[in-house]
């Protein structure tokens, strides 16, 4: 099986975009977030940049994990160029359609592109997609989201403690008339305050930012149609897999039901 290089490139790009805007922190400052978001009436370049911008660390993880999973599934049957094309085009087309009907809203996140890959993966490789559909939500809900939330809590606690320590140090230096050293400590206090403020603001923003269903629907539809028209052989193989999967499920259910019926008959005879 070939390496999923296209998927890896997309994952790295999304992470790099987030780190670039956040300065390596858990959250992106509000000004940078708004500058990279999509609002079709005022900043059309956001049709691309919004794909690499997220409201917070949970939002980022919620897109990165399915991107990695379904990108890899799609790449087992489609070409690498197809994976990149579906992600970018599904994301941009869906975002443009959403913004046309909702011109006053800001849009951020890679989810439309990710859902485009999900749609492409499901119709091209349904068996592996079913595994991913089951595994991804469990991994996020039971492992990654709790770990990320705990990491944010820990960082905010450490920043608050650092802030208190610096303020005490600053007051001591002022009392000793060591103004030059106090000035340096004051710069550090300002930096810690800024980082803590961005974290608190970003966490609150992430909790109240809504998710739109329509933009995801556009993305999924784009992914399905792309495979149907551009890679018809992969689509036919996917349909065959669907049929085989349906037969397997039917046989399993029938066998289970038949087995239960036989046991019930034996019990009655006994």
pLDDT band for position 196 (50/70/90)?
very high
Picking from 98, 111, 74, 76, the residue whose alpha carbon sits closest to that of residue 226 is 74
pLDDT band for position 176 (50/70/90)?
very high
Please list, in sequence order, all residues whose beta carbon lies within 8 angstroms of the beta carbon of residue 94, skipping any fewer than 6 positions away. Answer: 112, 113, 115, 116, 215, 216, 218, 219, 222
Contact predicate 6/75, CB 8 Å: yes
Domain boundary assignment for the chain: 5-148+211-254
| Least reliable range by pLDDT among 103-112, 124-133, 261-270 | 261-270
Higher pLDDT, 39 or 70: 70
Is residue 26 predicted with pLDDT exceeding 60?
A: yes
Mean pLDDT of the chain: 92
pLDDT band for position 1 (50/70/90)?
low
Cα-based torsion angle of the residue sequence 203, 207, 212, 124 in order, rounded to the nearest 10 degrees: 70
| Least reliable range by pLDDT among 9-18, 51-60, 224-233, 254-263 | 254-263
Q: Check: CATH 2.20.25.90 for 5-148+211-254?
A: no
Is residue 136 predicted with pLDDT exceeding 50?
A: yes
pLDDT band for position 258 (50/70/90)?
low
What percentage of the chain carries pLDDT values higher than 70?
93
The pLDDT score that the predictor gives to residue 219 is 97
Q: Token pair for residue 51?
A: 């794909």
- Residues written for the chain: 270
Is residue 249 predicted with pLDDT exceeding 90?
A: no
Is residue 265 predicted with pLDDT exceeding 70?
A: no
Is residue 75 predicted with pLDDT exceeding 80?
A: yes
Give, rounded to a whole angstrom, the gap between the first and last alpha carbons of the chain: 54
Q: What is the mean pLDDT of residues 20-43?
A: 90
């Amino acid at each position: 099986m070939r390496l999923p290089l296209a998927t890896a490139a997309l994952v790295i790009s999304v992470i790099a975009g987030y780190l670039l805007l956040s300065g390596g922190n858990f959250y992106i400052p509000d000004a940078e977030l708004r500058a990279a978001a999509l609002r079709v009436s005022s900043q059309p370049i956001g049709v691309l940049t919004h794909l690499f911008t997220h409201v917070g660390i949970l939002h980022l993880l919620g897109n990165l994990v399915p991107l990695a999973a379904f990108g890899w599934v799609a790449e087992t049957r489609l070409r690498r160029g197809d994976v990149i094309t579906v992600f970018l085009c599904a994301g941009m087309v869906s975002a443009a359609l959403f913004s046309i009907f909702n011109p006053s809203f800001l849009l951020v996140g890679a989810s439309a592109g990710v859902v485009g890959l999900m749609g492409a993966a499901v119709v091209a490789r349904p068996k592996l997609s079913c595994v991913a559909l089951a595994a991804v939500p469990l991994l996020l809900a039971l492992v990654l989201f709790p770990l990320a939330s705990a990491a944010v809590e820990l960082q905010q606690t450490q920043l608050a403690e650092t802030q208190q320590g610096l303020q005490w140090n600053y007051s001591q230096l002022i009392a000793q008339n060591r103004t030059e050293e106090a000035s340096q400590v004051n710069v550090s206090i300002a930096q810690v305050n800024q980082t803590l403020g961005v974290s608190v603001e970003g966490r609150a923003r992430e909790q109240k930012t809504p998710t739109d269903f329509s933009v995801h629907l556009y993305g999924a539809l784009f992914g399905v149609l792309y495979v149907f028209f551009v890679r018809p052989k992969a689509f036919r193989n996917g349909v065959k897999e669907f049929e085989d999967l349906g037969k397997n499920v039917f046989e399993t259910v029938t066998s289970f039901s038949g087995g239960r019926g036989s046991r019930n008959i034996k019990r009655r005879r006994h």
